[in-house]
Structure 1
């Protein structure tokens, strides 16, 4: 529908190749942020292993996905022994099963790391992430169910009993992303609103909290809009769904890498050399406090001449001087 599936397959190879190149660059930026500090390797206890493992897994899945697309194009358009053409392909073909598996795994990891980020930002409150976790698990169940049906029977991706499961996966993944991103933005915005009156920004126009909100909205919006486009194309059976689905596999990794890289770069550029010098020279020094305490059990005797009282006060003061 729309345009031939052969054309969609060729365009998919081009689009995913471009997206994979962007993903590759953002991946190295992410690795440098996670593993390096001032040009040197970070100490092992300071490495964020959750983000490191997530980045490696998502990039591996994205690389395997484009390898599957290249292999599929070679079989269809180069290999003379291949009898199955794109118009007769179904989900039971090995490349279709691999592509659906990559899509499910990538959305599963991407949504999981987003929920974890929301959990950390909300001070590890389990009640906050109950709904995103439910939609995340439901989406994973729908994706696995659709994969099992597709790998054991011969159906086109947008027809047959697997369509409701894949449609549910797309909707639930979009809901999970939108909900988690909204919770993150709301939490940061609340902190920013309450703390704005108490701090002074040394560099005008560079607010780290406002930038964090903007980065979260951009990444969450890109992912959610991509999922909505996939939902429309998949529901209508348009062949452009092939292009969008493969691009999303790369987009998930790109958004994750850029969030880490942009936040780290912001930490480095937020403090200018002058502000660093000001921070170093404005370190509070030691303060010395001298206290004189007068302790007397009996009231000093007063004399008309004042000699006796003066000597009593001076002796008591000498005994109780804390300075």
Structure 2
């Protein structure tokens, strides 16, 4: 088994997790502000579903941070002399209750983050068929995660390690399935928004490509982290302990990042249309562009299909063709001064043309 000493890894990983956790708290506050402002501009109530999910992710990363802090204190200070084998043996033992608890919290946090991503994909595609495979992967992640936590908790004291075959297979399955879920859903989201942007490109002035970039950035950040921890684990490296502690706050950060970046971009765009119809247009675009984040709206392919006809230049030409009978014409040629009423009565309207030139 190669990699960092576990006691040193615990110190470094807990410190970095604390930094990321503090950053996630800041992003949580900004996320709540963005959700409130987007709702105010759109003239609707705050989306409490997204608020609840944001709070749930913060709670998960908070509990994980607390457990890691307790684990570091127990292994490096409280149990330093009394634990058989010292700090390294303490951090090596998988069935130690702090290790089991932190992995249980990580499993729940991962399933929650992946579930949110799948729900966003459904909102954009508006069909369960597209997300059927990611949902299957999600259930595989849930089953393998529960089995991994259970298999770790029952390992005998002193001979246990996460690299044993009975534990290794479930942990590998969990990492692989959640990585596949995140990668596939990110591709589906980016592809749907991209093809929708191409389909309506001629009917709108703005572009959805920045949304694709935000989703891709968040997906790449999380996928790279999962790939790193999976690579360390299959190589029996202690580096997987180091990276694993950073994933919980990263899950929260990637969720907040999508809402914040799109929300700030739309706030800036709305400020550029500070008056008149430009403001209304900007707000409407903001609502359409962020509807999948807030869990509302129609399918992406059904958006922005209408063309504002009141802005199209139209010219109308009306021509009137009249026909006069022979008797009237003869009277006129002979100088007949009959009444105007008789002449009008003898006239017959035979056609009407309307030409619209755009």
* TM-score, normalised with respect to structure 1: 0.83
Asked if the contact 1:76–1:82 (Cα under 8 Å) also holds between the matched residues in 2, the reply is no
1:312 aligned to which of 329, 337, 345? 345
- Identify the residue that residue 27 of structure 1 maps to in structure 2: 28
Q: List gaps (5 residues or longer) in structure 2.
A: 282-307, 333-339, 350-358
Which 10-residue stretch deviates more, 161-170 or 79-88? 79-88
- Identify the residue that residue 222 of structure 2 maps to in structure 1: 223
Question: In 2, Cα distance between the equivalents of 1:11 and 1:3?
Answer: 10
How far the C-alpha of 1:301 sits from its partner, in A, is 6.6
How far the C-alpha of 1:4 sits from its partner, in A, is 1.1
Asked if the contact 2:38–2:263 (Cα under 8 Å) also holds between the matched residues in 1, the reply is no
Asked if the contact 2:76–2:87 (Cα under 8 Å) also holds between the matched residues in 1, the reply is no
Question: Could you say which structure has the higher strand fraction?
Answer: 2
Question: In 1, Cα distance between the equivalents of 2:181 and 2:55?
Answer: 22
Closer, same or farther in 2 for the Cα pair 1:35/1:198, shift >3 Å?
closer
Asked if the contact 1:75–1:82 (Cα under 8 Å) also holds between the matched residues in 2, the reply is no
Asked if the contact 1:301–1:308 (Cα under 8 Å) also holds between the matched residues in 2, the reply is no
How far the C-alpha of 1:77 sits from its partner, in A, is 2.0
Q: List gaps (5 residues or longer) in structure 1.
A: 202-206, 317-323
- Identify the residue that residue 257 of structure 2 maps to in structure 1: 258
- Residue 127 (structure 1) aligned with residue 126 (structure 2): no
Question: In 2, Cα distance between the equivalents of 1:281 and 1:236?
Answer: 56
Matches within 5 A, 1:159-308: 159-201=164-206, 207=207, 209-273=208-272, 276-277=275-276, 279=278, 303-304=328-329, 305=331, 307-308=340-341
**Which is greater in Rg?**
2
Which 10-residue stretch deviates more, 150-159 or 89-98? 150-159
Question: In 2, Cα distance between the equivalents of 1:103 and 1:231?
Answer: 15
Closer, same or farther in 2 for the Cα pair 1:216/1:313, shift >3 Å?
farther
Residues 48-82 of structure 1, C-alpha deviations (whole Å, 9 max, x = no match): 23322221111101011111111111112222686
2:105 aligned to which of 98, 102, 105? 102
- Identify the residue that residue 293 of structure 2 maps to in structure 1: none
Residues 98-127 of structure 1, C-alpha deviations (whole Å, 9 max, x = no match): 1111111111011100000000111x2111
2:161 aligned to which of 148, 153, 156? 156
User: Aligned residue pairs: how many?
Assistant: 304
Asked if the contact 2:270–2:279 (Cα under 8 Å) also holds between the matched residues in 1, the reply is no
Which 10-residue stretch deviates more, 254-263 or 90-99? 90-99
Q: CA RMSD in A?
A: 3.4
How far the C-alpha of 1:172 sits from its partner, in A, is 0.5
How far the C-alpha of 1:88 sits from its partner, in A, is 2.0
Residues 174-197 of structure 1, C-alpha deviations (whole Å, 9 max, x = no match): 000000000001001101122223
How far the C-alpha of 1:35 sits from its partner, in A, is 3.0
Question: In 2, Cα distance between the equivalents of 1:133 and 1:220?
Answer: 17
Question: In 2, Cα distance between the equivalents of 1:251 and 1:91?
Answer: 23
Question: In 1, Cα distance between the equivalents of 2:279 and 2:145?
Answer: 54
- Identify the residue that residue 296 of structure 2 maps to in structure 1: none
Question: In 2, Cα distance between the equivalents of 1:281 and 1:99?
Answer: 48
How far the C-alpha of 1:278 sits from its partner, in A, is 6.0
Matches within 5 A, 1:61-80: 61-79=60-78
SS in structure 2 at match of 1:78: helix
2:116 aligned to which of 98, 101, 113? 113
How far the C-alpha of 1:91 sits from its partner, in A, is 2.2
Closer, same or farther in 2 for the Cα pair 1:160/1:180, shift >3 Å?
same
Question: In 2, Cα distance between the equivalents of 1:106 and 1:68?
Answer: 14
